Amino acid sequence: MNEEHAIVLDYLPHGKSSSFKAEPIAIVLGTSFFTLLEVVPKAGADLKPLEEVYIGRETREKIDHIKQRIPFEQLTNNAKEELDKAVEDVILKNEKRFIQFFNASGSISLKRHQLELLPGVGKQHMEDILRERQIKPFESLKDIEDRVRFLTAPLSILRRRVMSELEGDEKHYLFARPPQTDDELRGAPPRQRR
């Protein structure tokens, strides 16, 4: 479950002022699991905000290596400013993946459904979505907006949910990789999540 591509949120050609070693770094958002990462660009690489870069295991054009995963709190102000737009871009470029969530999501417990974890989606919206998807699976975000009464701006709903997950404010994670545990931050192997 590694990220293959990422969107540049901020580029610091001289590194962070708090860093022991002065090296250029970029803060990026993974496009598969919304993982926040610090990466080290290759010498001479010029990175622009919201540019998509390859960070997978094969030969990378602009990125030398991934330095570390970072929590939301360690984002620079510039990275935070670009994050909303980057999240929205990822959703739009991977619309089918998010439509699949609306078409296939299920219950979390006897009383709660995954759809209810989306901001602004209550019981009535959930029932409308479930009824409509049984009639015919949703084909686009526009299709959801057209067919589900009073549910406006599904893109905004998805973006707000991803942002909340990135900030680490959720019990359940639908789209973003959950924050690292204290053990993972100390370098211990990750424990199984329940």
Write down the pLDDT at residue 187.
Answer: 55
Query: What pLDDT, on the 0 to 100 scale, is given for residue 182?
Result: 57
pTM of the full structure: 0.89
CB–CB of 8/53 below 8 Å?
Answer: yes
Q: Who contacts 11 (Cβ-Cβ below 8 Å, separation ≥6)?
A: 24, 25, 26, 27, 41, 47, 48, 49
180 burial level (CB within 10 Å; 0-12, 13-18, 19+)? middle
Burial class (CB in 10 A: 0-12, 13-18, 19+), 23: middle
| pLDDT range class, residue 183, cuts 50, 70, 90 | low
- 8 A C-beta contact, residue 8 and residue 48: yes
**Two tokens at 123?**
């019981």
* pLDDT for 169: 77
Pairwise CA distance, residues 94 & 112, whole Å: 26
C-alpha neighbours within 13 Å on the C-beta side of residue 13? 7
The pLDDT assigned to 163 comes to: 97
pLDDT of 14-59, one tens digit each? 887 766 677 899 999 999 999 999 999 999 999 999 999 999 999 9
> Hey, which residues does 36 pair with through a beta bridge?
29
70 contacts 37 by C-beta, under 8 angstroms: yes
pLDDT digits (tens, 9 = 90+) for 102-129: 999 999 998 899 999 999 999 999 999 9
Can you tell me the distance from the alpha carbon of 172 to that of 35, in angstroms, rounded to the nearest whole number? 16
pLDDT of res. 181: 65
